[in-house]
């Protein structure tokens, strides 16, 4: 009997995981710079947190949740996203005093049919900017996601931006779009017809009905004064810091808690149906929905699995500073002692774990991408080592006491 990872889940092993380690470092550094503290929440929550937070009419809640009863009969759900958890945590902690900025990173779970860039366990890095209704918060969050992709070498990213207005704007718009869709009922797909009553705005991003909906009224043309002012400020703010964006009036997103600003990052070179590498928006009503005091918020989530697929740095392995090779069995102890000293001085160093032919050790070093091979032979007794550069084959004698400085200086 052999086992495999469950459908839609992946093992991420070296050397592929080198990218993940790097992405995690980049993310942590970025969030620290931007002033976002770390938030850790449970991987499962009371099912109601998501059912209410994400919204009962959403695809995610209707059919994608990993829900189970624990031994005491509580209904729990593996988090399909983390915003609802973070908001729940803040309410539990007593609410947000002034502004509160936090970041997270971890696995999310949705029961879907897997595809490239779409898995049942997938990874998101995200931030939440809570307690501020200012468009400046939107701009900062959007910039952070943009910089993340930039630092990971994701090229040709299109930032798509839209505003779906305040709840009152949307209620008015809903009647307009409903009327439009009803007139064209016969031309629409089954899915879209079903949405006319439940969630007509969602028909806008249907691929099957793209033609029918091409000249449909859009939410951004039905914004109230306040939402319009807010949206203008977000766009101006992005312009001011040199982040290009395109207005996408058909961008609506599938979670109920969004209002006003919504956005997605789409790497244009990434050829797959699951094209959004990240996205987010404003969710000013979410605190009330989860039983808290009215508190505005804006956030984003970046899809690490998809970013990896689009990242220029994928497959790049980190270099080893030195590989220590022993000339024969009796030199293993000396080799180990040197490895220990070089590592203590901060270098990345590897060696064999038993004596092998020198040839085999060089091959090993080459495979690992070592810059230098340090040969430990009889010269070791005189305090010397032979150092060969694998890049150009140049070889020289270096005193052991200067070795780490010498390698560092190269």
Partner RNA sequence: GUGGCCGUAGCUCAGCUUGGUAGUAGCGCCUGGUUGUGGUCCAGGAGGUCGCGGGUUCGAAUCCCGUCGGCCACCCCA
Hey, which residues between 75 and 134 contact RNA (CB under 7 A)?
Answer: 81, 110, 112-119, 122, 124
Nearer to RNA, 234 or 327 (CB): 327
3-22 residues in contact with RNA (CB under 7 A) are 4, 6-9
Q: How far is the CB of 90 from RNA (least distance, A)?
A: 19
Q: How far is the CB of 306 from RNA (least distance, A)?
A: 5
- Cα atoms found within 13 Å of the Cα of residue 102, Cβ hemisphere only: 18
Structure-token pair, residue 219? 């939410």
Closer to RNA by Cβ: residue 58 or 163: 58
**Closer residue to RNA, CB minimum distance, 290 or 390:** 390
Q: Which stretch binds RNA (CB under 7 A): 98-106, 214-222, 229-237, 362-370?
A: 362-370
Which residue among 39, 51, 149, 327 contacts RNA (CB under 7 A)? 327
Least distance between RNA and beta carbon 327 (Å): 5
379 is a contact residue toward RNA (CB under 7 A): yes
Interface region with RNA, contact rule CB under 7 A, candidates 17-25, 52-60, 163-171, 333-341: 52-60
Per CB under 7 A, the list member of 91, 306, 311, 400 interacting with RNA is: 306
The full 3-state SS of the chain, as one line of letters, equals: CCCCCCCCCCCCCCCHHHHHHHHHHHHHHHHHHHCCEECCCCCEEEHHHHHHHCCCCCHHHHHCCEEEECCCCCEEEECCCCHHHHHHHHHHCCCCCCCEEEEEEEEEECCCCCECCECCEEEEEEEEEECCCCHHHHHHHHHHHHHHHHHCCECCEEEEEEECCCHHHHHHHHHHHHHHHHHCHHHCCHHHHHHHHHCHHHHHHCCCCHHHHCCCCCHHHHCCHHHHHHHHHHHHHHHHCCCCCEECCCCCCCCCCCEEEEEEEEECCCCCCCCCCEEEEECCCHHHHCCCCCCCEEEEEEEHHHHHHHECCCCCCCCEEEEEEECCHHHHHHHHHHHHHHHHCCCCEEECCCCCCHHHHHHHHHHCCEEEEEEECHHHHHCEEEEEECCCCCEEEEEHHHHHHHHHHC
322 binds RNA (CB under 7 A): no
Is 58 near RNA (CB under 7 A)? yes
- Give me the least distance between CB of 235 and RNA, in Å please: 20
Contact between 53 and RNA per CB under 7 A:
no
Binder of RNA out of 75, 318, 357, 408 (CB under 7 A): 357
Count of residues binding RNA (CB under 7 A)?
74
Which residue in the set 289, 377, 398, 406 belongs to the binding site for RNA (CB under 7 A)? 377
Residue matched to tokens 């943009």: 146
Site for RNA in 236-295 (CB under 7 A): 253-255, 264, 272-279
Q: Which of 293, 367, 396, 405: binder of RNA (CB under 7 A)?
A: 367
Q: Does 297 bind RNA (CB under 7 A)?
A: no
Between 236 and 247, CB nearer to RNA? 247
Is 366 a binding residue for RNA by CB under 7 A? The answer is yes
Q: Least distance from C-beta 160 to RNA, angstroms?
A: 10
């Amino acid at each position: 009997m052999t086992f495999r990872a469950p459908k839609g889940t992946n093992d991420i092993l070296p050397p592929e995981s080198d990218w993940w380690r790097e992405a995690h470092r980049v993310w942590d550094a970025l969030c620290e710079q931007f002033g976002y503290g770390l938030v850790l929440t449970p991987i499962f929550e009371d099912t109601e947190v998501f059912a209410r937070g994400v919204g009962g009419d959403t695809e995610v809640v209707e059919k994608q949740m990993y829900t189970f009863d624990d031994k005491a009969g509580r209904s729990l759900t593996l988090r399909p996203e983390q915003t609802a958890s973070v908001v729940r945590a803040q309410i539990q902690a007593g609410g947000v005093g002034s502004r509160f900025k936090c970041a997270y990173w971890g696995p999310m779970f949705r029961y879907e049919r897997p595809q490239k860039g779409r898995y049942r366990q997938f990874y998101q890095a995200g931030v939440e900017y809570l307690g501020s209704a200012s468009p400046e918060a939107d701009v900062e969050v959007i910039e952070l996601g943009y910089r993340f992709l930039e630092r990971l070498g994701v090229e040709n990213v299109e930032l798509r931006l839209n505003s779906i207005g305040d709840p009152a704007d949307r209620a008015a718009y809903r009647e307009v779009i409903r009327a439009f869709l009803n007139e064209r009922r016969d031309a629409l797909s089954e899915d879209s017809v079903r949405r006319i009553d439940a969630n007509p705005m969602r028909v806008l991003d249907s691929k099957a009905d793209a033609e029918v909906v091409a000249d449909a009224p859009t939410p951004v043309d039905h914004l109230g004064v306040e939402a319009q002012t807010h949206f203008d400020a977000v766009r101006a703010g992005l312009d001011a810091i040199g982040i290009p964006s395109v207005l996408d009036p058909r961008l609506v997103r599938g979670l109920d808690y969004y209002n006003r600003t919504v956005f997605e990052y789409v790497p244009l070179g990434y050829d797959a149906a699951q094209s959004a590498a990240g996205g987010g928006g404003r969710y000013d009503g979410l605190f009330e929905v989860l039983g808290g005091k009215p508190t505005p918020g804006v956030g984003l989530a970046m899809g690490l699995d998809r970013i990896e697929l689009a990242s220029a740095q994928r497959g790049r392995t980190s270099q080893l500073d030195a590989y220590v090779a022993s000339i024969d069995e009796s030199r293993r102890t000396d080799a180990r002692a040197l490895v220990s000293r070089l590592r203590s001085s901060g270098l990345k160093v590897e060696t064999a774990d038993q004596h092998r032919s020198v040839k085999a050790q060089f091959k090993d070093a080459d495979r690992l991408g070592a810059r230098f091979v340090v040969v430990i032979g009889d010269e070791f007794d005189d305090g010397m080592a032979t150092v060969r550069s694998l890049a150009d084959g140049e070889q020289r004698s270096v005193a052991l006491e200067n070795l780490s400085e010498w390698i560092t200086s190269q």
